[in-house]
Amino acid sequence: MGCRIQDAFSTIRSFVKDQPVFVLCSGGVDSSVCAALLTRALPSEQVKLVSIDNGFLRHNESNEIRETLSQFATVNYIDASQRFFKAKTYVRVKTTLAPNEITPRRPSISTNFLSLFDADMLLEETLPLNEEVDPEHKRKIIGDTFIKVVQEFLRNNNFTFDDIILAQGTLRPDLIESASHLASQGGHADAIKTHHNDSPMVRALRKLNRVIEPLKDFHKDEVRQIGLTLGLHSDVIYRHPFPGPGLAIRILCVDEPYMPVEYFSQTSSLLKTIINYSTMAEKQDTLLATLDMVFTANEKLLLKTLTSSDQHDYTSVLLPIRSVGVQGDARTYSFAAAISSNDEKPNWNELFILARMITKACHHINRVVYILGKRILDSKITQVTRTTLTSDIIDKARSCDYHAMMIMKQYGAYNSISQMPVVLIPIEFDREYAKEMNDKREEQIISDTNIQPIIYSCQHSVVLRTFLTKDFMTGKSAVPGETFPLDMLNDIYQTIKTNVPGISRILYDLTSKPPATTEWE
């Protein structure tokens, strides 16, 4: 590792020369190691650290970031939270029109970024971030706004991008998942998700040789080794990764349920056939033929045992939301499936087997969760809680994350788990009462009697996504009772339900990567 560090020093000095370097720092291990490399390779007065608060940080994180980074150099702190909430950007529009039929719309951005857009590219402006529901748009808005905030900071300090080098703690997995040409042959791979540090504006700056990313050829485990070699504190080295967009991508934003007619009902039926396989096999259900083509004889025997009514009372429901996943090198936006039961002590190993079998058989499901607590009453969920990045929603997500992290540390499990995203999803369970009332409303409309108002979904649920990995390219969920005590999960459940209003249920993510990604968006 020592040789690779010296190579990194040489690359930094050769690329930067005597130009000032501004390091974008989040306080995480990647940007901290990046800052350490640059401050060791260059004179201290040449390196400037910039910490931008985008409004989506965790509890007290802004102060922790400044404390972490102060060991390297003076930190330039920028509170840009209000700007991020209202920020927009331009995105490419997919079209079947021929190039000569397109009248491109030019965005009003700095001439430094004109090379970003092809002459025949059709562009459209996004909604403001606090109104946007498209996950890719959210990431691109945040990535571009980071650069715009830095641009304004430079201008206020009599610099432009032509005068400086921008440094980022970008890792190789970031570039692979963003389908950057730096990591894929010709840059033609499918983008699994756009990382904020590989947004269109960042790519434009790269073309101008204004960006240095000394960690772009490294994976997370290697970066941690570099940090240890450079003498960084273990609290920084082993801090759980937190995405640059922060809580913004741990809140699933929606304005309507995701229920495409071509495969929602079919996928829901196939899911229920799997969960009720023991009973369905006796009835010779027509969907069994589909499972016969997917599962081996031993797998079908195992599935019959797992779903036996003598053993469990599993129920399932397909959630009308999209979760990001990965199959091969391609991104998938597919459904999440939820399992519940009345088991006071769930058999977690069996649940993980069920999750693998569900994602194997159901191509439109890339994630499976278990609902903690009593078995749900919902046989079908067709409503979502309309959700955007408003301050109350962000505070709700931040509070859930804080309680979960504090309890994990109290149980000494923090270093046993690579990462634990705490995700807010727009699903309210146990709404049978509302379904009955809404069904009556439909009858009232038909009979033209006194029509009652619709009872809309208004609560959220929380997903705990424990993740075990070495390189963050692949990984698996932690098994409760093995990686951490079962009491920890129960305490997180009780604490969030008691202290955070508007939470319907707590869910536990059972899915490996692939087919699911670490984050839900």
The DSSP line for 92-116 is EPP--S-GGG--PPPP---GGGGGG
- Residue 437: CB atoms within 10 A of its CB come to 14
Handedness of CA 386, 389, 391, 392 (dihedral sign): positive
Nearest 5°: the CA angle 334, 338, 340 is: 170
CATH number of the domain at 2-83+133-244, out of 3.40.50.620, 1.10.340.30, 3.30.1370.10, 2.60.40.10? 3.40.50.620
CATH 3.40.50.620 domain range(s) in the chain: 2-83+133-244
Per-residue pLDDT at 154? 95
Tokens of 295: 């599962």
pTM of the full structure:
0.88
Per-residue pLDDT at 106? 45
Q: Directed axis angle between helix 29-41 and helix 61-69, to 10°?
A: 20
**Please, are residues 139 and 193 in contact by the beta-carbon 8 Å criterion?**
yes
CA distance 480 to 510: 10
Q: Is 167 in a helix, a strand, or coil?
A: strand
Average pLDDT in the 20-42 region?
93
**Please, are residues 253 and 384 in contact by the beta-carbon 8 Å criterion?**
no
**Least confident segment among 77-81, 104-108, 434-438:** 104-108
Give percent above pLDDT 90 in the chain: 70
Sequence-distant (6+) residues with CB within 8 A of 55 are 80, 81, 82, 84, 85, 394
- Beta-bridged to residue 334, according to DSSP, are 323
Write out the H or E segment, with its range, that includes residue 293.
Answer: helix 288-294
- Residue 318: CB atoms within 10 A of its CB come to 23
CA distance 135 to 331: 13
Per-residue pLDDT at 200? 73
CA distance 133 to 155: 32
Buried b (16+ CB within 10 A) or exposed e, 489-500: bebbbebbbeeb
- Distance (Å) of CA 103 to CA 93, 97, 115, 178: 12, 10, 18, 28
Alpha helices in 419-476 (DSSP H): 432-447
Mean pLDDT of the chain: 88
What's the full length of the chain, in residues? Answer: 521
**Least confident segment among 91-95, 204-208, 288-292, 498-502:** 91-95
Instruction: Using the predicted structure, report yes or no on whether residue 447 has a pLDDT greater than 70.
Output: no
Instruction: Using the predicted structure, report yes or no on whether residue 328 has a pLDDT greater than 80.
Output: no
Buried b (16+ CB within 10 A) or exposed e, 128-147: ebbebbebbbbbbbbbbbbb
Confidence band, pLDDT 50/70/90 cuts, at residue 177: low
Question: How does pLDDT run across 97-148, given as a tens digit for each residue?
Answer: 555 555 444 444 444 444 455 555 678 899 999 999 999 999 999 988 998 9
